Amino acid sequence: MYRYDEFDHAFVNERVSEFRAQVGRRLAGALSEEEFRPLRLRNGVYLQLHAYMLRIAIPYGQLSPRQLRQLAMIGRKWDRGYGHFTTRQNLQFNWVKLVDIPDVLAALAEVEMHCIQTSGNCVRNVTSDPYAAAAVDELEDPRVWCEILRQWSTLHPEFNWLPRKFKIAVSGAAEDRAATAFHDIGLRIVRGPNGENGFRVLVGGGMGRTPYVGQVIREFLPKEHLLSYVESILRVYNLLGRRDNLFKARIKILVNTLGIDKFREAVEADWEATNKAGIDLPEDEVRRIASYFAPPDLPEQPSRDEALAARREADPRFAGWYRNNVLPHRVPGYASVVISLKEPGRTPGDASSDTMDLVADLAERFGHDEIRVNYTQNLVLPHVARADIPALYDVLAEAGLGVGNNELLGDMICCPGLDYCNLANARSIPIAKEIAKKFEDPARQTEIGKLRVNMSGCINACGHHHAGNIGILGVDKKGTELYQITLGGSPKDDAAVGTIIGPGFRAEKVPDAIGTIVDTYVERRHEGESFLETWRRVGAAPFKEALYGAR
């Protein structure tokens, strides 16, 4: 795990004292709200519906037990005992007092965390594959490059006032588990013509009001040029991106207005003229950073564990959880374990301070001190010995965390919506809860199979509804919450934006509408076909008819 050097420590601590002074001046009246607002936003402090919200950066979704325990402590001491994990792999506290935030930031700094660049028109938290350094299909650890990008983009003087916020994701595996195609820049580590690793660079993806799948700007970028190339993309965007219209300011609009070819030409010309050696990281520096990400020492173990096999035989609940939440690991005898934050009845992505403490303990007992946050709003222990899995499960199940719904219908992504968010048009959490209730039976979810259901409370799409196989978007129609359903979205390698299937539904009708869609899929699917495959084969007509036919 990356450790702060003296510079990082000094810098973060300076920011804490700076913000403490700013809060002091605000409370004393030396700063008006208009003057203070951009300062607090730069430190991750939003004013939401009920209270202030503090967004804490979790770089590439990686946490140590010590950090998670500190987050638990912060939740208990300064919030209401819980936080919300987001699709940016960050954590939000919903009820912190402005007067306490300087102390919270100081507590975060103690464990090398902060809230810098979790808001504002700058490069936001770089996200990644939660199974980095564990997945069997990984070419190279993406976290090293995330960390390099993090250091480079933190307070980068040229890119601190971009036309709009900027999101980067890096994946180092064959399967895209970081939704890279829906990012301003998506980076995929791929094998190059001479067998060396480099990046396939996607640009201009994004959700929100105008969703786009990212386009390839470069099929293969030698690794050593990552920073100079990304810098050229940002420079072109910074110069040509629109600043006159908030809704047209993201890079996706620029890329799609110019066309990818023209945009590429501009970037390549800038890159050509760039002094790459002045920007790209020297090889020994890359090696130094990479050394922080050395995988834990995992002595090989027999890949078949008899006790584990017997438990799967004898305990159907355990077997069901295991089938969905235990993923293969590259080292024989190990696995990655998903801790679902989607127990039916709970707010998706919320974790209490007790849960955080428990997961920190489990990471120490069974998980080689590593925890990851998945953008799908679950936690992951990436390195667990298979022999320890039954004991781990027993602790999770006891705490209500043994829900085996990873990647199934119940594993919904859900933004805070109108229960918390100042920008929301409609509630999303209660809808997710109602859907979870309808599909509570694990056998039913297993029968349906993998299905990504994503939900947002407004067009900003924090809940990734565009990328859901089934997407749900809350809108406000003359004071009534209405829910638009999209079908056929995908966040993976076959990335696609979902299609609106028809008129929206009132809140109480949404669970049944999802039921109808699922039934239509199950009836129509060929053996082994995923929802997307069926959707692509049969098209919208049968779904429309099932939903609206009787009207």
Which positions touch ligand SF4 (CB under 6 A)? Answer: 415-417, 421, 423-424, 456-458, 460-463
State yes or no: residue 27 binds another protein (CB under 8 A).
yes
CB of 323 to another protein, least distance (A): 25
Phi, psi of 442 (to 5 degrees): -60, -30
Asked if 397 is part of the footprint of another protein (rule: CB under 8 A), the reply reads: no
Question: Quick one: what does residue 431 bind among ligand SF4, another protein, none, with the CB cut-off 5 to 8 Å set by partner type?
Answer: another protein
Q: Is 481 in the site for another protein (CB under 8 A)?
A: yes
Q: Mark 349-387 as b/e (b = at least 16 C-beta within 10 Å).
A: bbbbbebbbbbbebbbebbbbbbbbbbbbbbbbbbbbbb
Q: In degrees to the nearest 10, what's the CA dihedral of 513, 519, 521, 527?
A: 160
What is the closest distance, in whole angstroms, from the C-beta atom of residue 421 to ligand SF4 in the complex? Answer: 3
User: Least distance (Å) from another protein to the CB of residue 92?
Assistant: 13
- Considering the complex, what minimum distance in angstroms separates the CB of residue 173 from ligand SF4? 27
Q: Judged by CB, which is closer to another protein: 94, or 445?
A: 94
Q: Quick check: 431 binds another protein (CB under 8 A)? A: yes
Least distance (Å) between residue 510 CB and another protein? 9
Q: Which stretch binds another protein (CB under 8 A): 122-130, 209-217, 263-271, 426-434?
A: 426-434
In contact, 413 and 376? CB cutoff 8 Å:
yes
Residues 6 or more apart whose CB falls under 8 angstroms from that of 80 comprise: 94, 95
Select from another protein, ligand SF4, none the partner in contact with residue 384, using the beta carbon and a kind-dependent cut-off of 5 to 8 Å. none
Q: Which does 347 bind (CB under 5 to 8 A by kind): ligand SF4, another protein, none?
A: another protein
427 binds, among ligand SF4, another protein, none (CB under 5 to 8 A by kind): another protein
Maximum alpha-carbon separation in the chain: 68
Question: Binding to another protein (CB under 8 A): which residues in 339-358?
Answer: 345-347, 350, 352
How many angstroms separate the first and last alpha carbons of the chain? 57
Q: Residue 498 contacts by C-beta under 8 Å, 6 or more apart in sequence?
A: 465, 466, 467, 468, 469, 470, 471, 486, 487, 488, 489
Exposed / middle / buried, residue 224 (Cβ in 10 Å: 0-12, 13-18, 19+): middle
CA distances from 181 to 212, 221, 277, 535, 542 (A): 8, 17, 29, 20, 28
Nearer to another protein, 190 or 423 (CB): 423
Cα–Cα distance for residue pair 58/299, rounded to 1 Å: 29
**Residue ranges in 39-98 that form contacts with another protein under rule CB under 8 A:** 47-52, 80-82, 94-95, 97-98
Q: Considering beta carbons, is residue 347 or 376 the nearer one to another protein?
A: 347
Instruction: Considering the complex, state which of residue 144 and residue 413 has its C-beta at the smaller distance from ligand SF4.
Output: 413
Closer Cβ to ligand SF4, 201 or 462, answer by number: 462
Contact residue for another protein among 507, 522, 538, 540 (CB under 8 A): 507
Judged by CB under 8 A, does residue 29 bind another protein? yes
Structural tokens at position 297: 């020492």
Rounded least distance, CB 211 to ligand SF4, Å? 13
Specify the residue, 26 or 167, whose C-beta has the smaller distance to another protein: 26
- For 15-67, the DSSP string reads HHHHHHHHHHHHHHTSS-HHHHHHHHHTTTEEE-SSSEEEEE--GGGEE-HHH
Instruction: Using alpha carbons, select from 295, 298, 299, 306 the residue that is nearest to residue 387.
Output: 306
Site for another protein, rule CB under 8 A: 26-27, 29, 33, 47-52, 80-82, 94-95, 97-99, 345-347, 350, 352, 418-420, 424, 426-427, 429-431, 433-434, 479, 481, 507-508
